[in-house]
Structures are given as C-alpha cells and as structure tokens.
Amino acid sequence: MGSIADVRARLAAARQEGAAAVPRVALVPTMGALHDGHLALVERAREIADIVVVSIFVNPLQFGAGEDLDRYPRTLDADLTRLAEAGVPFVFAPTAREMYPEGSPGTRVTAGAVGSLYEGAARPGHFDGMLTVVAKLFNIVGPDVAVFGQKDAQQVFLVQRMVADLDLPLRIDVAPIVREESGLALSSRNRYLDEAQRAAAHALSAALAAAASVARGGDATAGQALAAARDAIEAAPMVKLDYLVVVHPHTFLPVGDDYRGPARMLVAALVGTTRLIDNTALDLDTGRTSTR
C-alpha cells in the first residue's frame, strides 16, 4: 500500500469485518531496513491488537543537511518479505511525494525545548520532522495504539508528550530495547559498522551497565553513576563520546550530580562516522534498574 487513500480504504474495510467488537489497530512506524528489534515491535503490536499496520517511510523531514538521508539503508523488498513471513498484511510504504505533495510542508509539529537537547542538539530540526511525520501517520492510519522502541528514548518521550499535549486519541506502547549478545542495541545504522567498530560500539552498553551496577549498590547519586559510565566509555578505542547524561523521566531534563530517584541515562557516541545512541533506566533511590 503506497497511497493514503488505499490504506484508509483497506483499514476501513478490515475494521468492519471485525464482527461485534471493533478490532483494535496497532501502528508500528519504521523507516525500514528492518531488523529483529523492529520484529519485536511487530510481535508486541500483535499481542495488543487485532490489526497490525507497519509503515515504512524514510522521512526526509527528520534528516538535516549533511546527514545520512541519501545513504540511509533502503531495503523495501527484503522488508516486505520479512513482514509477510511475520504475517503482517498491512504495510504502508508511501513515497515522499505521497506524504509531502508540496515538497516541504508549511505546517509542522514543534518539539519544544526538549527537542533541542541531546539528539536534537546534534541534529537540529530532527525532532520537529519526526513528530510531523508521526502525527501524519497517526492521522492516516488512525491506530488505537502505536508501538515505539525504547532505544530512541527521547523520541518516545516527545511522541508521548505530543499525544498528551494535542489530545491525540491513541495510546503509546513502549517495547524494551533488543540487544545483541555483546550488549549492542540493535539499530539500522549498525550495518555501517565494520568488524572492529562493531566490537568498539559495545562500549555504549558497557558504560550503561557500569552505571546500572553502581545504582544497584543502592544509595548512589547521578554523579556517581555518570562517573562510572564515563570511565567505561573513555577507556574504549574508536569511540568519540557526544553526550552522557542522566535525565528525569518525567521532564527529560538533566538532573544534578547529587540527584537520587528515578532516572534515565542517555548516551550518544560516534564510532567511526556512525552515530549510535543507547539508554537505560536507573533507580538511584532503591537501586532497581531495568532495560525499559
């Protein structure tokens, strides 16, 4: 399905087929280049809804000048095969012309101050472009629930806030990060890494694990967790740290070094020319940690 009219018509028909109860529709928005992390989102969507729609669209609006829009992996045929094997009949894969007939849209969603921090500082305009396409996808598909991966923690925060701020009639479901055995979080960009870089990239999850281990001891501050993570990442070859920060889960703003309480640690680094991100929840009060 490449056209907006098509996806709307097919979903309207599918909704009618669902006898007494209206089938719940789940949307899994993706940019394609599907890996097992995406398939885990599809699985999650299937658990919570009757109809699963996967969108595949490399959204030009969320790439800045000099970013990897042109070389971003596009593997539509392989993606469609994987989704067919996973039993997903509804795939919405529009062209840029279908989504933005006038070229750059005059109306956009703005991500506000948090949208300019962390990933937004490195990629100005990224989150405005991301929220704009996500709002469009929500309006096109009309899902009851949309499933996002926790790996993009700032994206999840901003999408949840957009849904609340604009009273959008759906729920956001967040699926845990899927990792390789080494700890490396799955990402479409991992395919840019050569063997040595892939081994070095393990430093991001190792840094988060070091922080989690400090937190698990109980009575740790944000500053102590940060110091442990920084030591782990600075010891790694080929890894250029961009940011390492502990944020409050409700505001996504940085906490002070003395902070104790629920928190999320975010890390971003360049490995070669590939920008990688990762994050983990830390409870700096009770010592509980989780990968969600």
State the CB neighbour count (10 A cutoff) for residue 176. 14
Is 42 annotated for ligand binding?
A: no
Which of 51, 83, 134, 141 binds ligand PAF (CB under 6 A)? It is 134
Is 151 annotated for ligand binding?
A: yes
Site for ligand PAF in 226-245 (CB under 6 A): none
CA distance 198 to 96: 32
* 131 touching ligand PAF, by CB under 6 A: no
Residues 180, 183, 186, 188, Cα dihedral to 10°: -110
Bridge-based pairing of strands 51-56 and 171-175 is unpaired
Whether the CB-CB separation of 45 and 23 falls below 8 Å is answered with: no
* 31 touching ligand PAF, by CB under 6 A: yes
* 130 touching ligand PAF, by CB under 6 A: yes
* 156 touching ligand PAF, by CB under 6 A: no
Longest dimension (CA), the chain: 60
CA distance 163 to 139: 12
Q: How far is the CB of 131 from ligand PAF (least distance, A)?
A: 9
132: helix, strand or coil: helix
250 is catalytic: no
> Which one-letter amino acid corresponds to residue 174?
V
Which of 152, 232, 280, 284 binds ligand PAF (CB under 6 A)? It is 152
Interacting span for ligand PAF (CB under 6 A) from 28-36, 95-103, 116-124, 221-229: 28-36
Bridge-based pairing of strands 262-271 and 145-149 is unpaired
Residues 211, 217, 218, 219, Cα dihedral to 10°: -80
In the 8-state DSSP scheme, what is residue 265?
E
* 203 touching ligand PAF, by CB under 6 A: no
Closer residue to ligand PAF, CB minimum distance, 11 or 135: 135
Q: How far is the CB of 103 from ligand PAF (least distance, A)?
A: 17
Which of 42, 83, 88, 133 binds ligand PAF (CB under 6 A)? It is 133
* 162 touching ligand PAF, by CB under 6 A: no
CA distance 133 to 124: 16
Whether the CB-CB separation of 32 and 92 falls below 8 Å is answered with: no
Is 62 annotated for ligand binding?
A: yes
Catalytic residue among 38, 202, 248, 250: 38
CA distance 123 to 158: 15
Which of 30, 154, 224, 274 binds ligand PAF (CB under 6 A)? It is 30
* 59 touching ligand PAF, by CB under 6 A: yes
Is 187 annotated for ligand binding?
A: yes
Task: Please identify which residue in the block is written with the tokens 């442990």.
Answer: 228
Interacting span for ligand PAF (CB under 6 A) from 24-32, 193-201, 228-236, 278-286: 24-32
Q: Give the interface with ligand PAF as residue ranges (CB under 6 A).
A: 29-31, 59, 62, 130, 133-134, 152, 155
Q: Annotated catalytic sites, by residue?
A: 38
- Binding residues for beta-alanine, as ranges, are 62
- Binding residues for ATP, as ranges, are 31-38, 149-152, 178, 186-189
